[in-house]
Amino acid sequence: MRFNEKELLCISKQPSEKAAELGMRGPKKGDVVKRRLVKLVINFLFYFRMDEEEPAGALLLEQCKVEQEEPTAFSVAFLDESEKKYLFECESSEQCQEWVESLTRASYEFMRRSLIFYRSEIHKLTGKDPLEQYGISEEARFQDSSQRP
């Protein structure tokens, strides 16, 4: 995916779906847990040093796996580099579960699966394609691959 730093900085300043101070450990061996402000905006997980306004980094939450590792810790690992995990420590198990759910719902893959499911359910109930009014009823990209001819 291509992006530039100005675009990312602009996105990082948008209102977040979720934000908190969490412990964070990077994927490199020897990385230690550091306190970071972590902010979910759309499908980016930004992390900031506590005294800075610009993000120290960002994780694009696509093609990744979010897992609860311990009662108060979760990880983010990318499918093409599953051995490299970013670990986040929360204050409570409830907070950890909320983060895992929010991050899981933030990915394009999740939104696409949801769209396919709800489109199919609405079609079953009404007999009409809910996307037809937008002129995209014939587009295969919104259809489940198992339904394609």
Q: Outline where 84-107 has alpha helix (H).
A: 93-105
Residue 12 structural domain: 5-106
Whether 5 shows a pLDDT value over 80: the answer reads yes
Query: Are 75 and 141 members of one domain?
Result: no
* Through-space distance between the first and last CA atoms of the chain, rounded to whole angstroms: 30
User: What does the pLDDT look like over 111-140, one tens digit per residue?
Assistant: 888 888 888 899 899 988 888 877 775 554
Query: Are 99 and 41 members of one domain?
Result: yes
User: What does the pLDDT look like over 89-118, one tens digit per residue?
Assistant: 999 999 999 999 999 989 877 888 888 888
Query: Are 24 and 87 members of one domain?
Result: yes
Query: Are 115 and 100 members of one domain?
Result: no
Query: Are 93 and 45 members of one domain?
Result: yes
What is the number of domains present in the chain? Answer: 2
CATH number at residue 42: 2.30.29.30
Q: What is the pTM of this model?
A: 0.75
